[in-house]
Amino acid sequence: MAELKRVLTEPWDVNRRLAQLGLTSEVLTKAVESAQAAWSACTENDPPNFPGIASWAAAVRSLREDLGLQQWTRVNDTGQPLIVNADETVALTCTSADENTGREGVFDPKTNSTKGPRTKEKVECNAWLFPELAEDERVRNDAARRRRINTWLLLIHRDVVLGQVRSELSRPVGLDPEGHIDGWSERIILPPFDFEPNCEALPDDGSGSDGGDIDIEIKRRA
């Protein structure tokens, strides 16, 4: 069962909700700006997938540096980089998404890259509202433990036509048949900013890697 989607756009509403999550728009925007700076520094001499990797890595690094000062912890589980708050209730990472990112409209954003089985498990866990309804006690306890950690994605879209970067912090609850995340229970829209397109930079067609799967592997006890 999926939650009713909320889309927050007003600054006061965005700041209030981010504060509840232990975040600020300044920290998130800085991460997005770092991603853009890394992408802009790339040229046609770089490997085709490097701009996406460099952009993604810069955003992750920025979040970890700033949130690490607030007692958030780096988590590298099976190569997936997240940062988790002190209460272990919020996990955060970054990924690129399509042109609907950062916009309130008819269509929701969709991640550019497909996600693996661990991400699918986490998304399904985000979407399962009532683990206490499971009949098996072991399943119920395991689901409740995993349900405690909510995974949020900082979605970033670079519009090279408009020269604009749009972003949002959103909570995933659904995937399409190909494995792209396209369902969200909550979307927190951040202010866009403009950039000067670098004529030497590779175009952002959404085909580059942005770090791959995003999840914490959670193993069931025997």
Q: Check pLDDT > 90 for residue 109.
A: yes
CA distance 27 to 178: 32
Taking only the tens place, the pLDDT of each residue in 132-151 is 555 565 655 555 555 578 89
Taking only the tens place, the pLDDT of each residue in 3-38 is 468 999 999 999 999 999 999 999 999 999 999 999
Across the range 102-129, mean pLDDT stands at 72
Tokens of 171: 């909570």
Residue 56: partners with Cβ closer than 8 Å, 6 or more residues away: 35, 94, 95, 96, 209, 210, 211
Q: Check pLDDT > 50 for residue 121.
A: yes
CA distances from 70 to 22, 33, 35, 82, 86 (A): 9, 20, 21, 15, 9
Is this structure's pTM higher than 0.85? no
CA distance 169 to 153: 6
